[in-house]
């Protein structure tokens, strides 16, 4: 039987390391590599994601994973939920016709793109990354307002 949510959270928390001033001064980097090395911690993360989605977002059609950490958790969660998985990659990394968005990071600029036919009009999507920082929020807003593909982030009207 799976552990209770509190102990899952404690297990995950124990496996996240903090590195101050990385990749530049003033940034506190949270390293998730120890989670990936420990099968119990990784299972706990996916359990927690799945529990949250099933409780709060019952009608998800696709998981959209942001490059690169969203690729670690997204496919595992999509498989558990029985839905598809779509990649959002750094510019120039996806074949075919893509749609892109430029955004500012805490420590620079970036551009992300998604294949134009990845999300059908009206599909409910759930963005996943290790966190939703500036770039992910910019991408979410572009998708939400219909500027990228045709899908609707889950919870949209």
Q: 99 by DSSP, 3-state: which?
A: strand
Close Cβ partners of 17 (under 8 Å, ≥ 6 residues apart):
30, 31, 33, 34
Residue 52's closest CA among 37, 73, 30, 71? 73
| Structure letter (DSSP) for residue 96 | S
Pairing of strands 124-128, 84-90: unpaired
Catalytic residue positions? 69, 106
Q: Can you list the positions of beta strands (E) in the chain?
A: 17-20, 28-31, 62-66, 84-90, 98-105, 108-115, 124-128, 152-153
| CB contact at 8 A, 70 and 139 | no
> What is the Cα 150 distance to its own chain's centre?
19
């Amino acid at each position: 039987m799976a552990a209770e949510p509190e102990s899952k959270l404690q297990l995950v928390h124990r496996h996240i390391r903090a590195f101050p001033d990385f990749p530049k001064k003033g940034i506190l980097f949270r390293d998730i590599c120890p989670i990936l090395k420990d099968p119990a911690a990784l299972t706990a993360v996916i359990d927690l994601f799945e529990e949250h989605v099933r409780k709060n977002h019952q009608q998800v059609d696709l998981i959209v994973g942001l490059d690169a950490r969203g690729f670690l958790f997204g496919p595992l969660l999509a498989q558990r939920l029985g839905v598809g998985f779509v990649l959002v990659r750094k510019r120039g990394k996806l074949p075919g016709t893509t749609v892109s968005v430029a955004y500012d990071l805490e420590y620079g600029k970036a551009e992300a793109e998604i294949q134009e036919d990845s999300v059908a009009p009206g599909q409910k999507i759930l963005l996943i990354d290790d966190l939703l920082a500036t770039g992910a929020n910019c991408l979410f807003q572009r998708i939400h307002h219909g500027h990228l593909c045709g899908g609707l982030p889950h919870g949209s009207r």
